[in-house]
């Protein structure tokens, strides 16, 4: 049976990233639903996914993984990478969704933004629920 959850970002003001009331079976499903249906459409999120620069973007997780890569980047601002290694990391990240992995690999190669469709944004958004809280409305204090 579904319950109502207030889904919020733990570290973002509600005025910047509005919360949502989500109907779901449990808190995990509420969080996933919010990330897919609300957050995946957020302009700043989409810009981060489409940003192919290495510094503070979604792409960084594929180019800078090891301590050695991080140290070199922090020291020099440069990244030496093997595209085959980067593509393998993309495929591991997307795991059960090789179709999305291949779209992202092609995006890295070409920069064609239309490769990253709504479904890809939803998969990417829902892959990292850290920092999102789903609070059952029936457990909140009502005044």
Residues 41 and 58 in one domain: no
DSSP state of 7: E
Helix axes 98-110, 83-94, angle to 10 degrees: 150
Tokens 């990244």 sit at which residue? 79
Residues 124 and 88 in one domain: no
pLDDT band at 137 (very low <50, low <70, confident <90, very high): very high
pLDDT at 18: 87
Listed in sequence order, the residues at least 6 apart from 82 whose beta carbon sits closer than 8 Å to its beta carbon are none
The total number of structural domains in the chain stands at 2
CA distance 41 to 135: 22
Structural domain span for residue 87: 53-110
CA distance 46 to 24: 25
pLDDT at 143: 87
Residues 86 and 130 in one domain: no
| pLDDT tens column, 37-71 | 999 999 999 999 999 888 778 999 999 999 998 99
Burial of 121 (0-12, 13-18, 19+ CB in 10 A): buried
Residues 16 and 65 in one domain: no
CA distance 79 to 95: 25
Global pTM reads 0.87
Residues 43 and 61 in one domain: no
Bridge-based pairing of strands 3-9 and 20-24 is antiparallel
């Amino acid at each position: 049976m579904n319950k109502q959850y207030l889904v919020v970002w733990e570290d973002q003001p509600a005025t910047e990233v509005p919360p949502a009331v989500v109907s779901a079976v449990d808190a995990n499903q509420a969080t996933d639903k919010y990330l897919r249906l609300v957050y995946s459409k957020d302009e700043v999120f989409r810009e981060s996914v489409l940003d192919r620069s290495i510094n503070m973007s979604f792409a960084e997780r594929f180019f800078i993984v090891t301590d050695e890569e991080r140290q070199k980047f922090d020291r020099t601002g440069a990244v030496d990478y093997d595209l085959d290694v980067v593509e393998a990391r993309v495929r591991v990240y997307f795991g059960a969704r090789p179709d999305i992995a291949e779209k992202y690999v092609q995006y890295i190669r070409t920069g064609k933004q239309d490769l990253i469709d709504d479904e890809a944004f939803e998969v990417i958004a829902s892959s990292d629920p850290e920092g999102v809280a789903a609070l059952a409305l029936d457990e909140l204090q009502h005044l």
